[in-house]
Amino acid sequence: MKKRTFLHLAALSAAALATSHAIAQDNTFKIGLILPMTGQQATTGRQIEAAARLYMAQNGDTVAGKKIQLIIKDDTSLPDATRRLAQELVVNDKVNVLAGFGITPSALATAPIATQSKTPMVVMAAATSSITQASPYVVRSSFTLPQVSVALADWAPKNGIKKVITLVSDYGPGIDAEKYFKDRLTFNGGQVTEALRVPLRNPDFAPFLQKVRDGKPDALFVFVPSGAGAAVMKQFLERGLDKAGIKLIATGDVTDDDQLNDMGDGALGVVTSHHYSAAHPSALNKKFVEAFGKANKGLRPNFMAVGGYDGMRVIYEALKTTRGQGGGDALLAAMKGQLFESPRGKIFIDAQTRDIVQDVYLRKVEKKDGQLYNVEFDVIKDVKDPGKAK
Ligand code: PHB
């Protein structure tokens, strides 16, 4: 071979390589999933990762000609780490979508990055009302605390509960739960006699529960984030608050399906309001719970898992609608207004607020086939986040 021909060929194949590399990159759709995989919120990360992987296993990893790549990062639920990881995912990995966000401070720390880079940010867990207002690129597939707290404040006074002490984790979602529960209970003729707040990190519930015992309310209303419910339940029972005639009522974060079955029979009868129960009696949910358990050594999906599963669907559908051609703005537009049946029931991404509209259920802890479940006994249909109604 003449030297010139060889060089020419070499140049050609280098160009071909470069082109195929560009195509490979072009044909990849990257989802940067930032989750707390370790630390206090680790169960949230475990549940959402399992749900995202299940969604991909069931729906394939190629959408509109693009290969979906899931890049999972552990932020240990520290917002500075979330922000740094989001920055790296956007700048270095050039992700098409940011997703995950186990707690509110992590979501709020990332919102400016989503805005600056015009990257859709799918919030699958965090649930403070104001998160969707922190960036026009936020879309939420989880829930909000005002959305689920109000139903319980309507139920309580009709069921002999007039005087309530509230106990919440002292940050965004807890403050939302406290305010919306109290306002609605007061409107309904009830009364919050004391509002207690416990630190988010390493809370010691004992001194607060002693105060509750001394205050003799009809009920104690609790919000703590997913993963902390079992500790509250244990201490509530150990201090004999149930025997003192104080009822425990809570958002479903407390009787979290990830932990509920290990809480013991002391949890029986606890009434909560929430958007998802593993015992939700729909055909779609039965399939979801079964497939999730099968893929994860019998693990029961909780409300975090369903937020992750539905968030993946929102992303997949947006990619299909834009035929794999659009940038961040096109994807965002295709996420707004989506309506579909989730394992929790029918859900809708409100195009105006980018927040989720969904049914909220009243549930009671009961034993079914020897296991503890949140059994739904009433439903409020199509609930918007009351935090947006101002
Ligand atoms: C939140 O930080 O927004 C959050 C975390 C866990 C929950 C609910 C809300 O269960």
For 322-365, the pLDDT digits (tens) are 999 989 999 999 999 999 999 999 999 999 999 999 999 999 99
Summarize pLDDT for 300-320 with one digit per residue, the tens.
Answer: 999 999 999 999 999 999 999
Distance 57 CA to ligand 1 centre (A): 27
Tell me which residues of the chain have a pLDDT lower than 70. 1-25, 389-390
**Per-residue pLDDT at 25:** 55
Distance 173 CA to ligand 1 centre (A): 6
Q: Measuring from each residue's beta carbon to the nearest atom of ligand 1, which residues come in under 6 Å?
A: 103-104, 125-128, 172-173, 225-226, 253
117 neighbors 92 (Cβ within 8 angstroms) = no
Q: Which residue, judged by its Cα, is nearest atom 3 of ligand 1?
A: 126
Side chain identity at 258, as an amino acid letter?
D
Cα separations (Å) of 206 from 238, 253, 331? 10, 19, 47
Summarize pLDDT for 23-46 with one digit per residue, the tens.
Answer: 445 799 999 999 999 999 999 999
Ligand 1 pocket test, pick from 226, 260, 304 with the greatest ligand atom count within 8 Å of Cβ, gives: 226
**Per-residue pLDDT at 26:** 76
Distance 297 CA to ligand 1 centre (A): 25
- Count other C-beta atoms under 10 Å from residue 145's C-beta: 28
Ligand 1 pocket test, pick from 103, 149, 200 with the greatest ligand atom count within 8 Å of Cβ, gives: 103
107 neighbors 131 (Cβ within 8 angstroms) = yes
**Per-residue pLDDT at 389:** 64
**Per-residue pLDDT at 18:** 42
DSSP state at residue 261? G
pTM above 0.75, yes or no: yes
180 neighbors 209 (Cβ within 8 angstroms) = no
How far apart CA 324 and CA 274 sit, in angstroms, is 35
**Per-residue pLDDT at 12:** 46
